[in-house]
Structure 1
Amino acid sequence: MKDASFRIAFSALMIWGAMATSSASAKTLNVVASFSVLADVVQQIGGSHVRVKSLVGPDGDPHQFEPSPDDARNLKDADLAFFSGEGLERWFEKLVTASGYQGTPVIVSTGIKLRERQRNSRTSDDPHIWNSPLNVLVWVANIEKALSAADPEAADDFKDNAARYSRELRDLDGYAHARIDPIPPQQRKILTSHDAFGYLGRDYGITFLSPLGLSTETEASASGVARLIDQVRAEHVKFYFIETSNDPRLVQQIANATGAQPGGKLYAEALSRPDGPAPTYARMFRHNIDLLAKAMVPPSN
């Protein structure tokens, strides 16, 4: 009887020891992402294996962000760092140098076919990659690859998370088509603060007009604003939207001059706070599509 009790106790001790060893060997990667939209996607793929810090917080502007000493310390201590690239976060490379970060940051937009935008005789690549869920599929593949290289033992989990999230992204694309496709093409015209929704417009046949270019750092000329006012009037653009991460005054002035009505707040390049309407990328995209579709539906007779 004593031998049986000893064997049971010994087996329990061995099981506990194996669990403790497994728990001790499992690691959590400290990850830094440049802005909140990207941080959420990294979290979706990394799951419980990552601890993600976003440098640009909710409602923040990734174009004009000014890093703090705490941001430099967080980056220096990170196991991995992710940024979108393509000219969005021009401050990021300077921060990497200043922080002493020893790794190589992952550019998640690598491999995406960029939209070109011509303005004032200059051609630039559009960095607002994430406003197309199909583009974010490329982000997912790049994030999974980087996380798996950093933590091979968790590679199967990263793969499963990436497959699940990729299905969710395709569902978002289908959701947008279901809401937008029935709207007559001539009704799909919207005024916004700056040129942040080009990929969304490309994918779903929406024309976005804006006084500012691809970055909120640009300035609108008086002649450019006058031409835009004429265009909004000529094309009968009925609604304008402000963006949560930048100054709404200019687009509101144009709306006042043209009679465009407010459609609400779009999340162009930042998530909301957790208690807001867009705390994750998936909810942000649905929020934007729902507001746009509501504004563009022609009035019933």
Structure 2
Amino acid sequence: MRSYFALALALVFATDVQAQDRLKVVTTFTVIADMAQNVAGDAADVVSVTRPGAEIHGYSPTPGDLRGAIDADLILWNGLNLELWFEQFLRNLGDIPAVTVSDGITPIPIAEGAYEGRANPHAWIGADAAMIYVDNIRDALSAADPANAATYAANAESYKAQISAVLDPLRARLADIPEDDRWLVTCEGAFSYLARDLDLRELYLWPMNADAVGTPQQVRRVIDTVREHDIPVVFCESTVNTDPARQIARETGAAYGGELYVDSLSEADGPVPTYLDLLRVTAETVVNGLTAAR
């Protein structure tokens, strides 16, 4: 009997030691956390500072967020002026290696507003840019944990193939829609990289959630453009007020195509619990809306 309990205690102890030996990676928001966990597999533990469904532009970190990140081995963040709150948070953490996962992308500049001329930070919503994110995550994990570099490399290649598989069929469906009808109208200008990937013209109410949102001037400008180009469908982002987009649909006769996901994953039982789900649901909603409106 004692030998059985001794073996059980040894297994528990070994499991605890193994867990303690795993790399701890902290990310700023859930999308990067899920991407990083897919690259890490079982070799590292990944957590997100912000929770599912959070609006990340103006997030206010809590003391609990700081306590949860203080023992991290590696920090991953988006950069490109997305996490406006993060630089102070990072300074409070002390000397922990931090990697900007958007490094190396070809940025799309914001066309207007307070951030005019700066890079649009929502690059992960485009699959082409997401490949660079995955490579940067792979390299960051490998540098922090060289013993598992081969695992990270294999997982990254598998994950990139899954990302490609999400958008490739949708690109083929869009090829049947006349070029003049390929418009992506949204609340926030957060979908520029997806629009570039899918060869869509983009129109939005406001450029960044950190700016003024849903003003009468913004609504009127989009209404006029929707009417001018006879745009058949409009969408909005899941984490903001959808009323302005619905007003545009009512006043122009366009269809309201539903909510798109970009900044945050949902809970496990929600519509977009993973990044692959977020990319698929968002792109399918756009393509289905454009197809139905023909």
Query: TM-score if structure 2 supplies the norm length?
Result: 0.88
Shift of 1:50: 1.6
Is 1:63 aligned to residue 32 of structure 2?
no
Shift of 1:184: 1.7
Is 1:266 aligned to residue 260 of structure 2?
yes
Shift of 1:298: 5.4
Shift of 1:207: 2.1
Is 1:238 aligned to residue 239 of structure 2?
no
* Counterpart Cα distance in 2 of 1:242 and 1:226: 16
Tell me if the contact between 1:76 and 1:102 (Cα under 8 Å) persists in the aligned partners: no
Aligned position for 1:49: 43
Is 1:112 aligned to residue 105 of structure 2?
yes
* Counterpart Cα distance in 1 of 2:147 and 2:176: 47
Aligned position for 1:10: none
Aligned position for 2:161: 167
Q: Aligned letter for 1:214?
A: M
Long gaps (5+) in structure 2:
1-6
* Counterpart Cα distance in 2 of 1:204 and 1:57: 29
Q: Which has the larger radius of gyration?
A: 1
Q: What is the 5 A alignment of 1:166-185? A: 166-185=160-179
Tell me if the contact between 1:134 and 1:173 (Cα under 8 Å) persists in the aligned partners: no
State the secondary structure of the residue aligned to 2:225: helix
Tell me if the contact between 1:63 and 1:217 (Cα under 8 Å) persists in the aligned partners: no
State the secondary structure of the residue aligned to 1:30: strand
Cα 1:254–1:67 change in 2 (3 A) is same
Q: What is the 5 A alignment of 1:1-301? A: 24=18, 27-97=21-91, 99-119=92-112, 122-297=116-291
* Counterpart Cα distance in 2 of 1:104 and 1:294: 42
State the secondary structure of the residue aligned to 1:64: coil
Tell me if the contact between 2:107 and 2:119 (Cα under 8 Å) persists in the aligned partners: yes
Query: TM-score if structure 1 supplies the norm length?
Result: 0.86
Cα 1:101–1:297 change in 2 (3 A) is same
State the secondary structure of the residue aligned to 2:269: coil
Aligned position for 1:3: none
Cα 1:179–1:278 change in 2 (3 A) is farther
* Counterpart Cα distance in 2 of 1:284 and 1:254: 25
State the secondary structure of the residue aligned to 2:24: strand
**Structure 1 vs Structure 2 CA RMSD:** 2.5
Tell me if the contact between 1:81 and 1:106 (Cα under 8 Å) persists in the aligned partners: yes
Shift of 1:24: 4.8
Shift of 1:69: 0.8
Tell me if the contact between 2:127 and 2:197 (Cα under 8 Å) persists in the aligned partners: no
* Counterpart Cα distance in 1 of 2:293 and 2:221: 28
Shift of 1:193: 1.1
Percent sequence identity over aligned pairs: 33
Cα 1:164–1:258 change in 2 (3 A) is same
* Counterpart Cα distance in 1 of 2:146 and 2:113: 48
Shift of 1:26: 8.0
State the secondary structure of the residue aligned to 1:293: helix
Shift of 1:217: 3.5
State the secondary structure of the residue aligned to 1:192: strand
Shift of 1:246: 1.6
Shift of 1:254: 2.5
Aligned residues: 284
* Counterpart Cα distance in 1 of 2:18 and 2:44: 15
Q: Aligned letter for 1:240?
A: V
- Structure 1 runs of 4+ off > 4 angstroms? 23-26
Tell me if the contact between 2:206 and 2:218 (Cα under 8 Å) persists in the aligned partners: no
Q: Aligned letter for 1:250?
A: P
Of 142-151 and 245-254, deviating more is 245-254
Shift of 1:117: 2.6
